[in-house]
């Protein structure tokens, strides 16, 4: 059975509270197509496809795209963006920890903000290497949080920490070795290449960011109960007025779409 995650609860506000716009995603897609030397036959797999922010440009341009996600509501958001599911898109509602594909199936496997959530990375990375074609590319990417938002988040974290109740440590049945993705692919003889696909400026007023937190759009908003959360938000809003002067203050900083590209040498 597929367990529900907090993405089920935030799927409807995911896109609006992130900062990868459709036009930036188009530019990133251009960059990736050049990076992997794409032909019209190039096939893509995105485990943890979410609402499709990264791959919609590939789908619209007719590339073969397969996406897997454990969250049905995230997949539903993706479906709503397309008038109908095109022939070149295969969406699978499943846990991507083990990939249900035969060996040598894809030219490009893309993960974005996803690998950290996989409990047994060794099995997952073995599987990525297995489903990749011989000359394929594994792109492990992230669009990092712009510094101004990061700072905003740190202020929230400091307040929420005061309300957090100590959780009993979870029972861990077996220790799973933590794996570094870079080390893993290098040890398998892959070449690695770090590239920045795109840098862009993200601007939001304090009021707008507060409204995103009010929607509980981020994992750290779920560290406290439904009863406690309004107290945290009241204290945070008070802090913001004192710290930023007014809720109309604009916070601007640069976001980056970073990619670690691995290919068999």
- Shortest Cβ contact with ligand SAM: which residue? 50
List of residues 6+ apart from 109 with CB closer than 8 A: 44, 45, 46, 47, 128, 131, 132, 136, 137, 138, 139
How do strand 43-47 and strand 64-69 relate by DSSP bridges?
parallel
Site for ligand SAM, residues 23 to 62, rule: CB under 6 A: 47-50, 53-54
Residue closer to ligand SAM (CB basis): 114 or 160 = 114
Minimum CB–partner distance for residue 185 and ligand SAM (Å): 19
Q: The tokens of 160 are what? A: 């929420």
Residue closer to ligand SAM (CB basis): 114 or 261 = 114
Residue 10, interface with ligand SAM (CB under 6 A)? Answer: no
Report the DSSP beta bridge partners of residue 203: 252
- Binding pattern for the stretch 61-100 against ligand SAM, x by CB under 6 A and - elsewhere: -------xxxx--x--------------------xxx---
Residue closer to ligand SAM (CB basis): 74 or 206 = 74
Residue 202, interface with ligand SAM (CB under 6 A)? Answer: no
Residue 107, interface with ligand SAM (CB under 6 A)? Answer: no
Minimum CB–partner distance for residue 27 and ligand SAM (Å): 15
Residue 259, interface with ligand SAM (CB under 6 A)? Answer: no
Residue closer to ligand SAM (CB basis): 15 or 182 = 15
Binding positions for ligand SAM, rule: CB under 6 A: 5, 7, 47-50, 53-54, 68-71, 74, 95-97, 112-114, 117-118
């Amino acid at each position: 059975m597929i367990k529900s995650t907090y993405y089920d609860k935030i799927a409807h506000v995911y896109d609006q509270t992130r900062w990868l716009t459709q036009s930036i995603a188009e530019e990133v897609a251009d960059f990736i197509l050049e990076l992997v030397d794409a032909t019209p036959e190039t096939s893509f797999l995105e485990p943890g496809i979410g609402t499709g922010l990264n791959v919609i440009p590939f789908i619209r341009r007719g590339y073969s795209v397969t996406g897997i996600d454990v969250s049905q509501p995230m997949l539903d958001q993706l479906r709503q963006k397309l008038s109908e599911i095109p022939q070149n898109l295969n969406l699978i509602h499943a846990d991507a920890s083990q990939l249900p594909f035969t060996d040598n199936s894809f030219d490009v496997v893309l993960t974005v903000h996803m690998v950290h959530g996989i409990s047994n990375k060794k099995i997952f990375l073995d599987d990525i290497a297995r489903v990749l074609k011989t000359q394929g590319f594994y792109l492990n990417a992230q669009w990092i949080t712009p510094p101004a938002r990061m700072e905003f988040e740190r202020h929230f974290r400091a307040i929420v920490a005061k309300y957090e109740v100590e959780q009993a440590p979870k029972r861990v049945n077996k220790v799973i070795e933590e794996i570094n993705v870079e080390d893993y692919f290098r040890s398998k003889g892959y070449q690695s290449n770090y590239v920045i696909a795109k840098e862009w400026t993200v601007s939001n007023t304090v009021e707008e960011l507060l409204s995103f937190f009010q929607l509980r759009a981020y994992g750290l908003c779920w560290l406290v109960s439904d009863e406690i959360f309004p107290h945290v938000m009241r204290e945070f809003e008070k802090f913001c007025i004192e710290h930023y002067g007014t809720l109309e203050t604009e916070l601007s900083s640069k976001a980056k779409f970073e990619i670690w590209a691995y290919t068999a040498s």
